[in-house]
Amino acid sequence: MNTGSVGRISVAVVGASGYGGVQLVRLLMDHPNVEMVYLGGESSAGQPFADLYPHLGHRTKLVIEPIDLDDISKRAQIVFLSLPNGLAAGMAAPLLEKGCKVLDLSADYRFANLETYEHWYGIARSDREIATKAVYGLPELYRRRLANAQLVGCPGCYPTASLLALAPLLRQGFIRPDSIIIDAKSGTSGGGRQGKIPLLLAEADNSIAAYSVAHHRHTPEIEQICRDLSGQDMMVQFTPHLVPMTRGILSTVYANLRDPGLVGDDLLTIYSAFYRASPWVRVLPSGVFPQTKWACGTNLCYIGIEVDERTGRAIVLSAIDNLIKGQAGQAVQCLNVMMGWDETLGLPNLTFYP
């Protein structure tokens, strides 16, 4: 296995031509501790990366190569898998056996119970032993586990926004577990680069629509982490919506408070304390609520909080960039934790506004 240049680790990105892959390449170009040595893909194999993404051509001369796990393991210490669901499951074990650390951006290693994965994704699995070793890649919640991880299942974008909004309330037992409602909106890039009709400009422009109502595959992922945080079984009502913008997620979470005496300032204190050591979470002042534009192009999550004293509900709003904090940036953040580096290394924290 390649040890990289002096002071730098060697990194491979498999699935480099998709939206997740190009975000990874872009972020890793500016990371001072890594050297990209391999970009892999199937349909795009043989093409210079600069032909696929000319705006990055002045920074890399790498060519997309066929996926060869033996070759990857000889050249890279860290492997990012940015592939459709079901493909990483056949690649992680050989790479781990050869000494690589693996970060998977698909759903393949997000589930502790593979029967849940098989039910919701319709993909049979035979790698249960490997899957039990995976760490869920949400650093704000699992930082200690990530420090020793060899295999990371990076969360989906909707779960990231929703769980960061819910975590302090669940961990402290402040909300009723049967009352959680998540209403989330995403930009069209969340569907990936292979365009589907609802994601096309002519279909999405000037329109907003819910999809996968009561059946979205991120629901069990959210519920799994909610159970882990609260210590009890629970179900959430999750409804995603597509909005006519390229990137960003706004998740609005509602839950009934156990203590009707809690007010907004109480929750602000709770959230500020919970995320005091989390550099990528910004808890906003009372009366300020996040906008997706603020997080665009950054690894930040903005959280706004309110209590409706009339209904006894907490209302928490969370805004992220679905391709950065909800995907590639979070994977790089996980890498930083795994390597013992500063958690903010190589990641953007300022957007361009407006």
pLDDT tens per residue, range 180-212: 999 999 998 877 666 555 556 667 788 999 999
Identify the three-state secondary structure at position 198: helix
Output the pTM of the full model: 0.95
Structure token digits, residue 303: 């959280």
Beta bridge partners of residue 304, listed in sequence order: 317
Identify the three-state secondary structure at position 120: helix
Kindly report which listed range (23-32, 38-47, 153-162) carries the lowest average pLDDT score. 38-47
Distance (Å, rounded) from C-alpha 222 to C-alpha 167?
Answer: 11
Distance (Å, rounded) from C-alpha 168 to C-alpha 147?
Answer: 22
16: alpha, beta or left? (left if phi > 0; alpha if psi -120 to 50): alpha
Number of residues that make up the chain: 354
What is the amino acid identity at position 255?
Answer: A
pLDDT surpassing 90 at residue 318: yes
Question: Please, what CATH class does the domain formed by 9-133 belong to?
Answer: alpha beta
Average pLDDT over residues 49-77: 95
Average pLDDT over residues 296-308: 98
Distance (Å, rounded) from C-alpha 235 to C-alpha 255?
Answer: 12
Q: Output the average pLDDT for the chain.
A: 94
Q: What are phi and psi of 51, to 5 degrees?
A: -75, -35
Q: By C-alpha distance, which of 137, 107, 138 is closest to 125?
A: 107
pLDDT surpassing 90 at residue 215: yes
Beta bridge partners of residue 18, listed in sequence order: none
Return the pLDDT at 199. 57
Q: How far out from the chain centre does Cα 228 lie? A: 18
Q: By C-alpha distance, which of 310, 312, 316 is closest to 254?
A: 316
What distances in angstroms separate CA 309 from CA 99, 244, 312, 314, one per listed residue?
A: 54, 33, 5, 9
What is the domain partition of the chain in residue ranges? 9-133, 157-322
pLDDT surpassing 90 at residue 85: yes
Average pLDDT over residues 270-274: 98
Active site positions, annotated: 157
User: Are 9-133 and 157-322 the same fold in CATH?
Assistant: no
Q: How far out from the chain centre does Cα 71 lie? A: 27
Average pLDDT over residues 30-48: 94
Distance (Å, rounded) from C-alpha 252 to C-alpha 225?
Answer: 18
Return the pLDDT at 19. 87
Average pLDDT over residues 230-249: 95
Return the pLDDT at 222. 98
Q: Please give the CATH superfamily to which domain 157-322 belongs.
A: Dihydrodipicolinate Reductase; domain 2 (3.30.360.10)
User: Strands 301-308, 281-283: parallel, antiparallel or unpaired by DSSP?
Assistant: parallel
pLDDT surpassing 60 at residue 84: yes
Return the pLDDT at 108. 98
